[in-house]
Amino acid sequence: MKAIIWFTNNLRTLDHPLLHKACKEATTVEAFYCYDPSLFEEDLKGVVKIGPYRKKFLIESLLDLQEQLERLHIPLHIIVGKPEKEIPTLIENIGATDLFYQKNWHDEERQTEKAVRQNLNKQISYHSAYDQFLITPSELPFEVSELPRVFTVFRKQIEKQCSIAAPLPIPKAIDQNIKTKVSKEWETISKEVASIKNDPRTAFPFKGGSQAGLDRINSYFWDTDQVAVYKKTRNGMIGTSYSTKFSPWLANGSVSARTIYQMLKQYEIERTSNESTYWVFFELLWREFFKYVGLKHGNLLFKSGGILKKEFAQGQDTNLFLKWKEGNTSNSFINAHMKELSKTGWMSNRGRQNVASYWSKTLGQDWRRGAAYFESMLLDYDVDSNWGNWMYTSGVGNDPRDRIFDPNRQAKMYDPNGTFQKKWLQESLF
C-alpha cells in the first residue's frame, strides 16, 4: 500500500487515528495539506473567509506539523491551490493507492471531497474517520438523530453512560526516505507570517502548532495551577490566565480534545480535583454538543431561522454593520470587545455573548452577518461552535431561555472599573 494522508483540521501527530492506521499498514506514507489562496482573499461579497490572525496561526501550525512529521520520516507537501484540482494530480504523480482523510459533515467540505473523487482518473481505496470528537458518533449512547435539544440533557447522558478513550500515541518513525516537495508559492506564503504582528494588548499571545498548544496546556495546568481556579476566573476578559485559551489549537486540530481530557484527569490525580477542574470538562462538553448539533442539523446552522426554523429579524443595515464591526456603536462595552476582535482575532466568551446578543437582538440584525464576520476574524473559528453559539445567542438555536444580554449591566458586573474598556478604547478617546 502506498498511502497518502490528507491533513485538514487535524494538524497533529499525537492522537491521530488515520496516521496510525497508515503507518501500520502502508509500505510508504506521504502527507499533504492543500492551502487554498482564495480563502484568504475577498470573495464577490467582499468577505474574507480566513482573516490575517487565523492565517498566521494556520501557517505556524503547518510548519510545526511539517517538523513533527519529519521526525516520523513522513514528508508533508503543502500544495497551494484548489483541492479538487491539486489533489487528484498529486495522487496520480505519487502513484498512491490509498487516501486517508478526516470525515467531515458539512456541505462545503463534502462537496470538495466529492469533487476530488470525481476528478481522479484512477481507482484508489479511501479511508476516513471522525477526528474531532471526545466521544465519536459510534460511542454515543443514542443515535445522532436523537440528540437532545438542550445541553444539560446531553451532558447528563454523556457523563452517565460514556467513557472517553485515551489518546493514541505518536506512531513510530517509518523506514523510508522521501523528500518534502516545497513549492515557490508556499515558500512566499510561509514568509508572510513575519509581517502579521500581534497587538501587545492581546489576551492570546501564543503561536500555532501542536508544540505551542502542549506548552500552553502544561503552563495552564502544571506551571501555574490556573486550572484549579478556572471556575472563578473564566468570566474574565484581560490577560492570558482567565481561561484556558485552548480553543485555537482545538479548532485546527493541532491538539485533540482527548489529549486535553487525559491531561486534565492526570492533573486531578496528581494535584487537585475540584469544581474548577470539572468545569473545564463541562466546557469541552459544550464544544462536543455543538459538533453534534452541526452533525445532526447540517445546513440549518446557516439558515436565518436556525434549527428552530423560527421567524427572525433579518435587518440588513450595512451602516449599522460597519459601526458594530468597527466598534463605533453607542455602547462602549460592545465597542471595546469589537476593537479587541479586529486587532487580535481574540475575544472572551463573555464578550462574544454580549456582542452577538447586541447585534442580533438589540439591533435586530441578521445574525448570520455577525457570524460570518466572526468566521473571518476569530483565531479559534470552528464551524459548529461558531454557528451553533450564534444561533443559541440569537434565539434560533438550543437556548431554552432565549436570553437577551444588557451590556450596561454586564459591564458593571464584569468590568466594574472600566479597565477592559479603557484598554481597547484608549486611542478613540484622544
Ligand X SMILES: Cc1cc2nc3c(=O)[nH]c(=O)nc-3n(C[C@H](O)[C@H](O)[C@H](O)COP(=O)(O)OP(=O)(O)OC[C@H]3O[C@@H](n4cnc5c(N)ncnc54)[C@H](O)[C@@H]3O)c2cc1C
Q: Is 340 in the site for ligand X (CB under 6 A)?
A: no
Stretch that binds ligand X, among 38-46, 117-125, 140-148, 347-355 (CB under 6 A): 347-355
Q: Is 374 in the site for ligand X (CB under 6 A)?
A: yes
State which of residues 268, 283, 317, 399 lies at the interface with ligand X (CB under 6 A).
283
- Nearer Cβ to ligand X, position 9 or 66? 9
Q: Is 237 in the site for ligand X (CB under 6 A)?
A: no
- Nearer Cβ to ligand X, position 74 or 264? 264
List own/partner pairs for 410-415 with CB under 8 A and 24 or more apart: 410/333, 410/350, 410/354, 411/332, 411/333, 414/235, 414/236, 414/237, 414/350, 415/237, 415/333, 415/336
Q: How many residues bind ligand X (CB under 6 A)?
A: 29
For residue 387 the three cell numbers come to 454557528
Stretch that binds ligand X, among 5-13, 131-139, 237-245, 414-422 (CB under 6 A): 237-245
State which of residues 54, 56, 216, 287 lies at the interface with ligand X (CB under 6 A).
287
Cβ pair 68, 12 in contact under 8 A: yes
State which of residues 68, 277, 353, 410 lies at the interface with ligand X (CB under 6 A).
353
Q: Is 360 in the site for ligand X (CB under 6 A)?
A: no
DSSP secondary structure letters along 332-354: HHHHHHHHHHHHHS---HHHHHH
Q: Is 101 in the site for ligand X (CB under 6 A)?
A: no
- Nearer Cβ to ligand X, position 32 or 387? 387
- Nearer Cβ to ligand X, position 90 or 237? 237
Is the alpha carbon torsion for 309, 310, 311, 315 positive or negative?
A: negative
Cβ pair 381, 251 in contact under 8 A: yes
For residue 361 the three cell numbers come to 437582538
Nearest CA to 212 among 366, 410, 11? 11
Q: Is 102 in the site for ligand X (CB under 6 A)?
A: no
By CB under 6 A, the residues from 381 to 410 that bind ligand X are 381-382, 385-386, 389-390, 393
Min dist CB 176 to ligand X, Å, is 36
Contact mark string toward ligand X, 298..337, x via CB under 6 A: ----------------------------------------
Cβ pair 37, 80 in contact under 8 A: yes
Cα 331 → chain centroid = 29
State which of residues 130, 278, 286, 414 lies at the interface with ligand X (CB under 6 A).
286
Q: Is 244 in the site for ligand X (CB under 6 A)?
A: yes
Min dist CB 76 to ligand X, Å, is 25
For residue 21 the three cell numbers come to 492506521
Min dist CB 382 to ligand X, Å, is 4
- Nearer Cβ to ligand X, position 32 or 358? 358
State which of residues 59, 356, 377, 391 lies at the interface with ligand X (CB under 6 A).
356
- Nearer Cβ to ligand X, position 66 or 252? 252
State which of residues 97, 262, 273, 349 lies at the interface with ligand X (CB under 6 A).
349
- Nearer Cβ to ligand X, position 140 or 378? 378
CA distances from 286 to 39, 202, 349 (A): 28, 25, 12
State which of residues 8, 9, 243, 276 lies at the interface with ligand X (CB under 6 A).
243
- Bridge-based pairing state of the strands 2-7 and 76-80: unpaired
Give the strands of the sheet with 125-129, arranged side by side. 76-80, 28-35, 2-7, 98-102, 125-129
Nearest CA to 35 among 180, 183, 179? 183
By CB under 6 A, the residues from 28 to 47 that bind ligand X are none
Q: What is the DSSP letter of 292?
A: H
Rounded-to-integer distance, Cα 8 and Cα 286, Å? 22
Min dist CB 189 to ligand X, Å, is 23
Contacting residues for 297 by C-beta, under 8 A, at least 6 apart: 307
For residue 148 the three cell numbers come to 437532545
Q: Where are the beta strands (DSSP E) in 19-119?
A: 28-35, 76-80, 98-102
- Nearer Cβ to ligand X, position 100 or 358? 358
Min dist CB 220 to ligand X, Å, is 9
Min dist CB 142 to ligand X, Å, is 20
Count of residues making up the chain: 430
Nearest CA to 384 among 245, 208, 250, 207? 250
Nearest CA to 231 among 289, 277, 288? 277
Stretch that binds ligand X, among 6-14, 35-43, 282-290, 398-406 (CB under 6 A): 282-290
- Residues at the contact surface with ligand X, assessed by CB under 6 A: 234, 243-247, 250-251, 280, 283-284, 286-287, 290, 348-349, 352-353, 356, 374, 378, 380-382, 385-386, 389-390, 393
